[in-house]
Amino acid sequence: MLNYRNTNIFFTLLLVALIAIHIAYGLPYYIYVILLFIYSLIVFWGCYYIGSGFFIRITCKAATDKKQIAITFDDGPAAAHTPEILDVLRKADVKAAFFCIGNRIAGNEIILQRVKEEGHIIGNHSFSHHFWFDLYSADKMIADLRRMDEAMERATGLRPRLFRPPYGVTNPNVKKAILRGGYTPIGWSVRSMDTVTKDSRKLLAKINGAIEPGAVFLFHDTCSSTLEALPAFIAEVKNRGYEIVPLDKLLHLRPYA
């Protein structure tokens, strides 16, 4: 399995072998540049592809043949669209998971309480969701995550176990924070790209084409295109004989501490 540890072992051994060859027979120095470039590409892939499991195993979909999927939302609670999305979900009798940003809870406590009361899962998406979050030290990361836990617990009485890394980025420090905090890391198998796709028709075509057993869809409850496409998406899922189930049920996970 390709992971951080095995990659480091392989490239270390390869480097030792190249140095030995270099000493014995000579090698052009650009070989080492190429080696560094290939190593960097692999690590970059591991950091930015959440399904790689490169640093830590992250659950991204369910291993099932049942016609079941889960839908998740990141970056709320947001006064602009979260209540309307909750209206859509309630009307369709669908339960979702909301991975919330802690610094958006203050002033939106009523929205978060509604998320809880209507039976949706609430997860940790960090407190700051800072652009440079993945460059934080492990200590700073865990402090950030615990700050989100505390804000959520004050608002809802619940303490999350499920954690989705900001931007889906992982690295050794993110792994340390997850393990030290006792979190269960959650990814996705279908990235809707709703933060980029502003045309709800294009968004709907993309997500409809990705419906398959065990899929976990990533949306953002901050996007108007998601709000516009969501009713038709839910209808299409049901028309195909699929069931939209809560994330914890689909993945067989305990959502709260």
Contact 215, 61 (CB under 8 A): yes
Please say if 220 is a catalytic residue: yes
Question: Between the CA of residue 218 and those of 11, 12, 97, 99, what are the distances in Å?
Answer: 34, 37, 10, 10
Contact 145, 125 (CB under 8 A): no
Pick the catalytic residue from 81, 120, 129, 220: 220
Number of H-type helices and E-type strands within the chain: 9, 8
Collapsing DSSP to helix, strand or coil, 71 comes out as strand
Strands (E), 93-169: 97-100, 121-124, 162-163
DSSP letters for 19-44: HHHHHHH---THHHHHHHHHHHHHHH
Distance of CA 95 to the CA centre of its chain: 18
Rg over CA atoms, the chain: 21
Cα separation, 49 vs 235, whole angstroms:
30
Strands (E), 142-183: 162-163
Please report, as a single letter, which amino acid is at residue 32: Y
End-to-end CA separation in angstroms for the chain: 31
- Phi, psi (5° rounding) for residue 167? 65, 5
Please say if 74 is a catalytic residue: yes
Cα separation, 221 vs 83, whole angstroms:
9
| Residues tagged active-site | 74, 220
